[in-house]
Amino acid sequence: MNSPLDRFLPISSIAYFTMEIALRPEMHTYSGGLGVLAGDTARSAADLNLPEVFVTLVSRQGYLRQEIDAAGRQVDQPAPWNPEEWCEQLNAMVAVTIEGRRVWIRPWLYRCTSPLGHVVPVILLDTDIDANDPMDRPITDRLYGGDSRYRLKQEAVLGIGGTRMLQALGFSIQIYHMNEGHAAFLTLELLRRFPRRSNRREAGGRAYDASPVLSRCLFTTHTPVEAGHDRFPYPLVQEVVGDLIELEELRIYAGVDDCNMTRLALNLSGYVNGVAVRHAETTQQMFPGYRVAAITNGVHAARWAYPAIARLFDKHIPHWAHEPELLFHADYLPDADITAAKREAKDHLVRLTEEMTGVKLDPELPIFSFARRMTGYKRPGLLLSDPERLKAIARKYPFQVVWAGKSHPADSAGKAVIEAINQATKALSAEIPMVYLQNYDTRIAEVLVAGADVWLNTPKPPQEASGTSGMKAALNGTLNLSTLDGWWVEAWIEDVTGWSIGNDGFAETEADHATDLYDKLEQKVLPLYAKDRDRWTWMTKQSISKIAAYFNTQRMMRRYTSEAYLR
Ligand SMILES: *Cc1c(COP(=O)(O)O)cnc(C)c1O
């Protein structure tokens, strides 16, 4: 009686499982784009009053607080947060057997509330309780931390524990949505609910009936990079989770050689999608024989519109927050108003960079930003690959650059790029003002996506599944300059919504992309900013009207609802 869940239990029939989710900056339950997407998904689910419940780990020690030391290197620090400040504890416990021990899990509730008053519940799973063996208490501490055994334990807690938790709390779930393969063990937990009627396994046959699982599960895959797919050796799986189902049967679903979480999710989901059209095609080629639909990602418009931009939308485009499709009107915004709102955001960015680094950027000159996870395929160093050419361009058309982004603690190549960027920042500072903002998070992103003039992205096609930060930039009238990969393939209209780097093909080398990047800067982007500010403002409005009206999570969730949840 009077459980905080009472109002949700009768209606919530869709469960969304995610290893990370960005709900608010003080809750360190996310690392990057995947988590930000999950958070925006929850917000839109609340806006649209969808009967959805979200499940994640509490990640008490967070992902990583990044410090940049005097030599320009990333130093990894923990990023603890206190669930009691933002969540309420629920009265339930479930257990999962891990390494033969009973591991108890308790739930926290976070209410994700829409400005319209609708709420979706987020359940955060926590193993840090007295009843557990001290070695099991930290299982839900560090997001993407530790070795593969630790990761496997976390995935057991998320997939198996999460499914049991929903049942213990009284939810009756019809649809299980896996945001990436981390939660794929939930398929096995469901499978166990459907033993074959004969109750006797024929030789080489299956003890469980997969068809009810297929009709309940859907899987959204997020990376075409092979290393992004979790694989665990079967002996480790057996040690950690035991015989959830017999190994022989598990191999049918998760792969012959090792337990591949992507395969497991693919084989036991009745609906599979990639997160952009290009990504769905790439996934289809990686996994022939599966049907891979495409639902392109979006961003939550009201969450990512900078306050001055949001005020402008409120004034000219009523109801835009609930129906971002209406932002198609943005190409009629008065030039003076959009220019003033952009300037307010840019002044904010100039203040923020000065506070964080002591460097004062000039708001009269264009600011480029490169901010995202610092990892190999995103090629953060592309802009710096020919410093002499870059300097020559800056002598003709001065510009400035703001960098930000973390590397995973184990990504030594990514860390080396951070160090190289910081060294270049120092070496070029007399000619090109550049700063590196440490500890990139959603709070910094909010200012960067609106305050910059150009949002630079240089992933190596076809490795960027979607990308979403460029959508946030476009929503705020910041122009995209990007290789043609992920979402940008769909949004790019040259000289209208932004600019491409390279052509729409995979034959180009990194050197081709670098040359084209410099050519675009020198021949198009910088001259336009310097000489034709009216046309620049026109593009700003095209970017908002053509991109933000479509690449938002409202549209995305309507599509998940009609094409995947109600399939
Ligand atoms: C939006 C966002 C991302 C995703 O950036 P991509 O460029 O799409 O990879 C990562 N981190 C933070 C903090 C974000 O806000």
Using one digit for the tens of pLDDT, what is the confidence trace for 20-71? 999 999 999 999 999 999 999 999 999 999 999 999 999 999 999 999 999 9
Residue of minimum CA distance from atom 3 in ligand 1: 33
- Say if ligand 1 is within 6 A of residue 467 CB: yes
- Say if ligand 1 is within 6 A of residue 441 CB: yes
Whether 20 contacts 37, CB under 8 Å: no
* Nearest C-alpha neighbor of 445 from the set 422, 475, 487: 475
Which amino acid, 262?
T
User: How far, in Å, from the CA of 163 to the mean position of ligand 1?
Assistant: 28
- Say if ligand 1 is within 6 A of residue 34 CB: no
Which amino acid, 32?
G
- Say if ligand 1 is within 6 A of residue 32 CB: yes
For residue 434, give every residue at least 6 positions away whose Cβ sits within 8 Å of its Cβ, in sequence order, or none. 400, 401, 402, 403, 424, 425, 428
Question: How many CB atoms are closer than 10 A to CB 175?
Answer: 21
pLDDT at residue 58 in the model: 98
pLDDT at residue 204 in the model: 60
Nearest atom (ligand 1) to Cα of 442:
13
Q: State whether the Cα torsion 420-406-219-546 is positive or negative.
A: negative
For residue 509, give every residue at least 6 positions away whose Cβ sits within 8 Å of its Cβ, in sequence order, or none. none
User: How far, in Å, from the CA of 380 to the mean position of ligand 1?
Assistant: 14
pLDDT at residue 7 in the model: 86
pLDDT digits (tens, 9 = 90+) for 318-373: 999 999 999 999 999 999 999 999 999 999 999 999 999 999 999 999 999 999 99
Q: Which ranges of the chain have pLDDT less than 50? A: none
In angstroms, the CA 567 to CA 547 distance is 27
Question: How many CB atoms are closer than 10 A to CB 397?
Answer: 17
In angstroms, the CA 442 to CA 24 distance is 8
Q: What angle do CA 42, 449, 350 make, to 5 degrees?
A: 135
User: How far, in Å, from the CA of 449 to the mean position of ligand 1?
Assistant: 10
Task: At 133, list the tokens.
Answer: 């063996």
User: How far, in Å, from the CA of 181 to the mean position of ligand 1?
Assistant: 19
* Helix, strand, coil percentages, rounded to 5, for the chain: 45, 20, 40
Whether 127 contacts 105, CB under 8 Å: yes
- Say if ligand 1 is within 6 A of residue 442 CB: yes
Task: At 110, list the tokens.
Answer: 């976070």
By residue count, the chain amounts to 567
User: How far, in Å, from the CA of 469 to the mean position of ligand 1?
Assistant: 5
Residue of minimum CA distance from atom 8 in ligand 1: 467
Residue of minimum CA distance from atom 2 in ligand 1: 33
Task: Mark residue 204 as left, alpha or beta (left: phi above 0; alpha: psi -120 to 50; beta: remaining).
Answer: left
Nearest atom (ligand 1) to Cα of 371:
7
Collapsed DSSP state (helix, strand, coil) of residue 66: strand
In angstroms, the CA 182 to CA 262 distance is 8
User: How far, in Å, from the CA of 109 to the mean position of ligand 1?
Assistant: 25
* Nearest C-alpha neighbor of 479 from the set 367, 311, 385: 367
Whether 231 contacts 261, CB under 8 Å: yes
**Of the residues 24, 36, 377, 407, which should be mutated to test ligand 1's pocket, given the most ligand atoms within 8 Å of the CB?**
36
What distances in angstroms separate CA 95 from CA 77, 278, 329, one per listed residue?
Answer: 31, 41, 52
Whether 46 contacts 113, CB under 8 Å: yes
Average pLDDT, the chain: 96
Whether 60 contacts 399, CB under 8 Å: no
Whether 123 contacts 91, CB under 8 Å: no
User: How far, in Å, from the CA of 446 to the mean position of ligand 1?
Assistant: 10
Nearest atom (ligand 1) to Cα of 457:
7
- Say if ligand 1 is within 6 A of residue 296 CB: no
Q: In what order do the strands lie in the sheet with 367-371?
A: 434-437, 400-404, 367-371, 454-457, 479-483, 498-501
User: How far, in Å, from the CA of 188 to the mean position of ligand 1?
Assistant: 32
In angstroms, the CA 140 to CA 136 distance is 9
Whether 488 contacts 506, CB under 8 Å: no
Whether 246 contacts 237, CB under 8 Å: no
Residue of minimum CA distance from atom 5 in ligand 1: 469
Task: At 442, list the tokens.
Answer: 């959603």
User: How far, in Å, from the CA of 103 to the mean position of ligand 1?
Assistant: 33
User: How far, in Å, from the CA of 495 to the mean position of ligand 1?
Assistant: 24
- Distant-in-sequence contacts of 67-70, Cβ < 8 A, 24+ apart: 67/438, 67/439, 68/418, 68/422, 68/436, 68/438
* Nearest C-alpha neighbor of 447 from the set 421, 473, 482: 473
User: How far, in Å, from the CA of 508 to the mean position of ligand 1?
Assistant: 25
Residue of minimum CA distance from atom 7 in ligand 1: 469
Residue of minimum CA distance from atom 4 in ligand 1: 33
Whether 399 contacts 367, CB under 8 Å: yes
In angstroms, the CA 158 to CA 165 distance is 10
Residue of minimum CA distance from atom 11 in ligand 1: 32
User: How far, in Å, from the CA of 36 to the mean position of ligand 1?
Assistant: 7
- Say if ligand 1 is within 6 A of residue 33 CB: yes
- Say if ligand 1 is within 6 A of residue 238 CB: no
**Of the residues 469, 475, 480, 547, which should be mutated to test ligand 1's pocket, given the most ligand atoms within 8 Å of the CB?**
469
Hunting for tokens 């109750």 — which residue is that? 199
Q: Got the DSSP string for 238-292? A: HHHH--SS-HHHHHHHH-SSEEEHHHHHHHT-SEEEESSHHHHHHHHHHSTTS-E
Residue of minimum CA distance from atom 12 in ligand 1: 32
Collapsed DSSP state (helix, strand, coil) of residue 14: strand
In angstroms, the CA 121 to CA 119 distance is 7
Q: Domains in the chain, please, with CATH?
A: 14-67+75-197+207-297+556-565 (3.40.50.2000), 318-551 (3.40.50.2000)
pLDDT at residue 107 in the model: 98
User: How far, in Å, from the CA of 279 to the mean position of ligand 1?
Assistant: 17
In angstroms, the CA 260 to CA 50 distance is 31
Nearest atom (ligand 1) to Cα of 472:
1
**Of the residues 27, 31, 225, 372, which should be mutated to test ligand 1's pocket, given the most ligand atoms within 8 Å of the CB?**
372
Whether 31 contacts 63, CB under 8 Å: yes
Q: Is residue 328 within a helix (H) or strand (E), and if so which, with residue range?
A: none
Whether 480 contacts 470, CB under 8 Å: yes
Residue of minimum CA distance from atom 1 in ligand 1: 469
Nearest atom (ligand 1) to Cα of 444:
13
Q: What angle do CA 558, 561, 567 make, to 5 degrees?
A: 140
CB burial of residue 323 (10 Å; 0-12, 13-18, 19+): middle
- Say if ligand 1 is within 6 A of residue 182 CB: no
pLDDT digits (tens, 9 = 90+) for 393-438: 999 999 999 999 999 999 999 999 999 999 999 999 999 999 999 9
Q: Is residue 427 within a helix (H) or strand (E), and if so which, with residue range?
A: helix 412-427
CB burial of residue 423 (10 Å; 0-12, 13-18, 19+): middle
User: How far, in Å, from the CA of 372 to the mean position of ligand 1?
Assistant: 5
- Say if ligand 1 is within 6 A of residue 440 CB: yes
